[in-house]
Amino acid sequence: MNLLITGAWPDAKKHIPEIEAMGHTVTFMQHERDQLPCDGDWVEGVIGSGLFLFHPIVQFPNLRFIQLTSAGFDRVDMDYVREHSIEIHNARGVYSIPMAEYAVSGVLQLYKQARYFYENQTAHLWKKHRSLPELCGKTVTVVGCGNVGTECAKRFKAFGCQVIGLNRSVKENEAFHTILPLEKLDEILPKTDVLLLTVALKRETSHLMDRRRLGLLPDTAVVVNVSRGAVLDECALCEMLQAGRLAGAVLDVFETEPLPEDSPLWDTPNMIATPHNSYVGEGNGERLWNVIRRNIGAG
């Protein structure tokens, strides 16, 4: 197979000799927005992330295989992929572990008032905080029960939380105490202490957590978003945090990235904002190579 591999795969150059030994022919381009290093009709397979944002997929008439280095499919015209029977894979399971660790870490930072103690340490103040909540016994609602949601559920369950999953399809998964259809979301939100968004961004999940649904959460709830920024109404969330209608939020993804310097989210009380960094982990390289090797071997 003629493979176009991009620098969206950080370890690509290290593994290209192994891929060529499998019988594939490889052309490499570092930056996906650059001019193509080959004719589009040469390409039969692509390993990358956002290539089709800069080079429309119709430029590759012989394309039959796509391996994404990202977890989401939202950068690809999936209607075109289905219409042309193109085999496509995402980086399923590659980033789930660090993202789950990030989610737990963010909630614990808010619960245990990490910023308060850091500021006191910086000021050399010995000052106790007498009202720290416990994670044990809390109800964690995970919206999206794929790999990321499952890894999150395992970890929150280990802290003694009641973990409820909401998913478009309901199936058995021992990481959750129960999984309910997504249509039950409005019923579960009033009982939720921690709302964790790991659902894929699709037309039906855009602004899934809008102002009305955020209003269904208790004042003590914490919202965590590690999926896509557009799943959540950021303006409504910001206003509710400023009004004390939610206890906190942990956001690693935003509707506009990078987050503009003048965004009110930077200075919102009880907000942890990070630059789409939750997926970073030392095991990603090996996990991604295992996924790619398996899929190009089968392809």
For the chain, report the end-to-end CA distance as a whole number of angstroms: 9
Taken in order of first residue, the domains within the chain and their CATH numbers are: 2-92+282-298 (3.40.50.720), 96-273 (3.40.50.720)
Q: Which of 15, 89, 155, 228 is labelled catalytic?
A: 228
Question: How far, in Å, CA of 39 to CA of 249, rounded?
Answer: 46
The pLDDT-based confidence of 297 (bands split at 50, 70, 90) is confident
Residue 195 sits at the vertex; the CA angle it makes with 182 and 158, to the nearest 5 degrees, is 105
pLDDT tens readout for residues 262-291: 999 999 999 999 999 999 999 999 999 999
Rounded to the nearest integer, the mean pLDDT of the chain is: 97
- Rounded to 5 degrees, φ, ψ at 41 are -75, -10
Taking the CA atoms of 254, 280, 70 and 145 in sequence, report the sign of the dihedral they define. negative
- Rounded to 5 degrees, φ, ψ at 226 are -125, 15
> Is 276 an annotated catalytic residue?
yes
Residue 183 CB burial class (10 angstroms; 0-12, 13-18, ≥19):
exposed
> Is 84 an annotated catalytic residue?
no
Q: Which of 92, 213, 276, 287 is labelled catalytic?
A: 276
The pLDDT-based confidence of 255 (bands split at 50, 70, 90) is very high
Average pLDDT score over residue span 156-178 = 97
Question: How far, in Å, CA of 189 to CA of 227, rounded?
Answer: 18
> pTM for this one?
0.93
The pLDDT-based confidence of 46 (bands split at 50, 70, 90) is very high
Residue 222 CB burial class (10 angstroms; 0-12, 13-18, ≥19):
buried
- Is the per-residue pLDDT at 223 higher than 90? yes
pLDDT tens readout for residues 47-105: 999 999 999 999 999 999 999 999 889 899 999 999 999 999 999 999 999 999 999 99
Question: How far, in Å, CA of 27 to CA of 48, rounded?
Answer: 12
- Is the per-residue pLDDT at 299 higher than 60? no
